Structure 1
């Protein structure tokens, strides 16, 4: 009788371990669909504040509010396999919102290939009429992980905060159920995949809308290859030189292009 109890106990232990292993499944290959959302009303109000006294901005704001939704939405995908990720914007639909201004914050300028194991990235960056290929190390972000959580695309995510480019406050949400230290755009460096990013003071967010657990072929992770080759510092110097006489607009444009 004692022997039967021991055998039964071992059977139950093995069965529980199998069930637990099946329940806790980690995703290492797949495609994540993201939506970038820009609060256009807030951005236009900032332009109005920068141009106080110019009636054009007030009239433009009123006209925009009458004809356009508050949030501009844009699609993108993040394909990943183990420690390789490729972020790409979807084809954009031209519309009246695109006619508001040439503000690079309301566009999707980057295709980002990251080798997380090597700590390197290749970013194809569209800067007005020019295309650059930025080859450099992955940006190091000093994240501070918090106890706050929220669900994104079916995954429980933990919040982390950081400051980038000296002045841009970033809120990110990551899941350790996807053990890949990547994310949308150039946001990475957390112990799991970043499924949500918010720049509260810039009025911009990126949030995952769907995660597809699927095999990824090598050609789906091909790094961008077209553009003038530079590193991050050379790109910064080039943009600063081109915009040196553009006043306040130059600061905003530089911030957008270096995200």
Structure 2
């Protein structure tokens, strides 16, 4: 059986860790990013394609190319996303729409494009949406991002019910603050604005995690890996938090 996983935002961070984890399990991979992640694709013998998930035509073309290269899509991992901070009073309509386009409409477009293959795969079909603890609770100064991630979780739960009779599943993985470029940029931003040391700035990101640390991308990838396995066939419509106990 050909097992083909389509991973968005695979250039680095969580997406790259997911790609490596699924490659170890023998999946054929399509890796996407705004620029095709060719270096990682070469490392993993995968197919790389550029895709802008805010553009329906770009998404459609990427899925056509992926099927031609690797066969029908059995698993979709929606990982690509972005965050922009602002107090709610300074959240412009443009910022709001940008966060929805990337973080909610993007996964919608990919789910829509993958759906026929996922349903045809039956009990082997998997959709895993990388949400965030922001899908489970509120955070100040990122209201647009939080709203989008809450939407991703709602989309996941609704999809799970529609897919259930086919045997395919849809689940969300909800990481807390993770050691990724986005968080490192946030730490640098705090340092530049407040004059705090790196350790002090980092502490602001780790204090919400009862374990007192950042989540590692490989830990998130392990949850995705399991959800894509045969052993998770009865896990459907769930939000799995990988956050050290921040949400309980």
Q: TM-score range by the shorter chain?
A: under 0.3
The structure with more strand, counted as a fraction of residues: 1
Structure showing greater radius of gyration is 1
Query: TM-score, normalising length from structure 1?
Result: 0.25
The structure with more helix, counted as a fraction of residues: 2
Query: TM-score, normalising length from structure 2?
Result: 0.26
